[in-house]
Amino acid sequence: MTTQLTPAVAPSRRTAARRLSTRVGRVRELGIVVALALVVIPTAIVNPRFIQPQSLRDLLLNASIVALLAVGQTLVVITRNVDLSVGSVLGLSAFLTAQHFADNPGTPLVLGIGFGVAVGLACGLLNGLLVALGNVPSLVVTLGTLYVFRGVDYALAQGKQVNAANLPDALLNLGSSRVLGIPILVLVAVVVIVVAAVYLRSYRSGRELYAIGSNPEAATLAGIPVAKRTLTTFAVSGLIAGLAGALWVARYGTVDAAAGTGLELQVVAAVVVGGVAIFGGSGTVTGAALGALLLGTITSCLVVLQIPAFWQQAIAGALLLSAITVDRLLALRLAKALRTSEGTSHA
């Protein structure tokens, strides 16, 4: 006999759904850690220097910029959108930050980095306004702004580059200094990851992003300000890309208009490989950061093993396809489990 769900049963089902989704996410993150081990151990056997402290620090440094961008991208993808302009936003912010420091000697470090962050925020707001208020698909908007921002970057640079000799020592030291043996850039990335993770887990507006990605129409009916939340995610993505651009200057010193070219594909791959569903509604910033670390580690391992660059791109593409396939299979199994739970509740 079928009975109507009581108020006590519905919350129970929702709690079960959240627990199942969380368990799936943890399994995905654990899988990335296992994959990291499977990549690092054979490489270390072939070349023991690969796991020396300096080599490990270089791995973390190389992954820190992509991991930062992956945090902002995760917020966007969770809402069933995508930001393909992050590489161009980083490039524009990097060049303008470097130019600002070069043209204004004595600029305080925080103020100069804040300038780069403001540039990124402005770009993110433009993306967000077009997507959230203009109702234009994010793929179309950010593909367009990818070229617009890069074009502005080339127009401002006019073939020039800013050299490390024109930048303040405080900025360059930021890219090479360490605290307790850990590079400062890595610590900055970790802080941003932790803040974003706490926001998504502990704040209502953060949890609402998952509701929007799971079902935008239902989220609207539930009273969630979908347009406002979507605008916010793009603004935050741009802000973080601006910060990453300023840190890019600190990391590499010399900057031109090509900085960050093609980085958006690495970021999307890192996010998806890290377990963030490309169709929205699930995933964590921790998983995305681990995805960035995995892809960066694979690239470094292939270089150490003297494997051609073509295979680096091929493996990254294969991982991306595999992650999307796994996401789809997990989504189907999760839906089936929830339907089974619902059927049991009705029985």
- What local confidence, expressed as pLDDT, does residue 67 receive? 94
Domain limits, the chain: 28-340
- What local confidence, expressed as pLDDT, does residue 5 receive? 43
| Average pLDDT by stretches of 10, the chain with 347 residues | 44 50 63 80 85 84 92 94 95 94 90 95 96 92 95 92 89 86 91 95 91 89 92 96 94 89 89 84 88 87 78 72 69 63 54
C-alpha atoms less than 13 angstroms from C-alpha of 279 in its C-beta half-sphere: 12
Distances (CA, A) of 40 to 43, 194, 272, 277, 323: 5, 25, 21, 26, 20
Mention every residue, 6+ apart, whose C-beta is less than 8 A from residue 250: 171, 172, 174, 175, 185
- What local confidence, expressed as pLDDT, does residue 335 receive? 61
What is the C-alpha to C-alpha distance for residues 327 and 323, in angstroms, rounded to an integer?
A: 6
What is the C-alpha to C-alpha distance for residues 109 and 26, in angstroms, rounded to an integer?
A: 38
What is the C-alpha to C-alpha distance for residues 30 and 25, in angstroms, rounded to an integer?
A: 9
Which listed CATH number (1.10.150, 1.10.3470, 1.10.287, 1.10.10) goes with 28-340?
Answer: 1.10.3470
What is the C-alpha to C-alpha distance for residues 169 and 148, in angstroms, rounded to an integer?
A: 32
- What local confidence, expressed as pLDDT, does residue 111 receive? 94
Distance of CA 13 to the CA centre of its chain: 31
- What local confidence, expressed as pLDDT, does residue 343 receive? 55
Indicate whether this model's pTM tops 0.75: yes
- What local confidence, expressed as pLDDT, does residue 4 receive? 45
What is the C-alpha to C-alpha distance for residues 212 and 95, in angstroms, rounded to an integer?
A: 35
What is the C-alpha to C-alpha distance for residues 176 and 319, in angstroms, rounded to an integer?
A: 31
